[in-house]
Amino acid sequence: MKRRSKTSAARAQWTKKHLLGIEDLTKEEILLILDQAEGFREIIERAIPKVPALRGKTIVNLFCEPSTRTRTSFELAAKRLSADTVNIAMAASSFQKGETLKDTVRNIEAMKIDMVIIRHSSAGVPKFLSGCTKAAIVNAGDGAHEHPTQALLDVFTMRKHLGRIEGLNVSIIGDIAHSRVARSNIWALKKLGANVTVSGPKTMMPARMEEMGVRVVYDIGAAIKGADVLNVLRIQLERQETPLFPGTREYVKCFGIDKERLAKHAKKDVLIMHPGPINRGVELSQDAADGEYSVILDQVKNGVAVRMAVLFLLSVSK
């Protein structure tokens, strides 16, 4: 009898049609994606980084908010798997003439497509669209709600560098209130058994964060001390209706991560992560962003493998 390959076995275990958030995934589903991504990580290092796994599939990138990493990463992931890709620039689409997002997606679907990767400034848009189309929907960031593939690539990077997630001390620092990355990371890390601390100005800390099973500290030294990983977040000025701190200098003084602060409080081999884009000199100094413990560009590279895994697993419609 023929033995099934590891990849087809993984696909057979996968049951979800959409990827809407990490909250919806089990620990086993997260691990399935991470393990699948390990194989794809090897493929993207090859001289010809392409496999025919999604030949014949069509994937649409529908980004209604700016993006550099996520959009490019999804497009590359689809191309590495031999899918056809279409990018829709919302600013040049009929959305500008008043067409609804639902009509946009249903019209695209009429042209026979298989998946839609959606980024939107409103929380819940991916879930809404998943009820309007037969295509698989992938959340590429919805408002301050979730950014599931960012969390998956973050935990993949931690596991790659530190060998495990269970028992790791991970501190997430910055604008927690507006961060979909923070929320998705907390879901993923807690499901995988890490100890999570969140830190930032009180004005950027949602109420009742402890109910997500995290430690909340307002002293940056305490957040850094004992951490295996510092995941430093961008201050999201575009989502703040009124300024939430007196000024950039104040923020840097109280919460900025720089070489001096790391030398004073951090474990000597702490991993420095950031989802990007970085406000250099604000949440991260130049030397911390580019220093020997920074794995920020590795996160970006791993993002392609992780997104290949997501597209591959979702490509069998349930």
Judged by CB, which is closer to ligand CP: 216, or 309?
309
- What is the smallest separation between the CB atom of 233 and ligand CP, expressed in angstroms? 10
CB 258 within 8 A of CB 288: yes
Near ligand CP by CB under 6 A: residue from 16, 17, 27, 69: 69
Q: Does 276 bind ligand CP (CB under 6 A)?
A: yes
Near ligand CP by CB under 6 A: residue from 126, 141, 174, 256: 141
Indicate the residue type of 190: K
Near ligand CP by CB under 6 A: residue from 7, 67, 87, 248: 67
Q: Does 150 bind ligand CP (CB under 6 A)?
A: yes
Locate 166 and state its tokens. Answer: 């269970």
Q: Does 68 bind ligand CP (CB under 6 A)?
A: yes
Distance between CA atoms of residues 223 and 220, nearest Å: 5
Choose one: 63-71, 162-170, 239-247, 255-263; the region binding ligand CP (CB under 6 A).
Answer: 63-71
- Label residue 213 left, alpha or beta by phi (over 0 means left) and psi (-120 to 50 means alpha): left
CB 255 within 8 A of CB 174: yes
Distance between CA atoms of residues 182 and 116, nearest Å: 24
Ordered DSSP codes for 220-254: HHHHHTT-SEEEEPPP-GGG-SS-SSS-HHHHHHH
Near ligand CP by CB under 6 A: residue from 193, 221, 277, 281: 277
Judged by CB, which is closer to ligand CP: 126, or 265?
126
Judged by CB, which is closer to ligand CP: 174, or 266?
174
Judged by CB, which is closer to ligand CP: 70, or 285?
70
- Label residue 200 left, alpha or beta by phi (over 0 means left) and psi (-120 to 50 means alpha): left
Judged by CB, which is closer to ligand CP: 152, or 227?
152
Phi and psi at residue 231, to the nearest 5°:
-100, 105
* Closest C-alpha among 89, 137, 149 to residue 113: 137
Point out which residues pair with 59 in neighbouring strands: 85, 115
- What is the smallest separation between the CB atom of 185 and ligand CP, expressed in angstroms? 12
Q: Does 130 bind ligand CP (CB under 6 A)?
A: no
Choose one: 36-44, 121-129, 248-256, 271-279; the region binding ligand CP (CB under 6 A).
Answer: 271-279
Choose one: 15-23, 62-70, 104-112, 287-295; the region binding ligand CP (CB under 6 A).
Answer: 62-70
- What is the smallest separation between the CB atom of 189 and ligand CP, expressed in angstroms? 17
- What is the smallest separation between the CB atom of 69 and ligand CP, expressed in angstroms? 4
Distance between CA atoms of residues 201 and 305, nearest Å: 34
- What is the smallest separation between the CB atom of 129 and ligand CP, expressed in angstroms? 19
- What is the smallest separation between the CB atom of 153 and ligand CP, expressed in angstroms? 9
Near ligand CP by CB under 6 A: residue from 11, 14, 29, 70: 70
DSSP 134: S
Distance between CA atoms of residues 37 and 14, nearest Å: 14
Distance between CA atoms of residues 269 and 288, nearest Å: 13
- What is the smallest separation between the CB atom of 264 and ligand CP, expressed in angstroms? 28
CB atoms within 10 A of CB 227: 23
Q: Does 275 bind ligand CP (CB under 6 A)?
A: yes
DSSP 195: E
Residues near ligand CP, by CB under 6 A: 67-70, 141, 150, 275-277
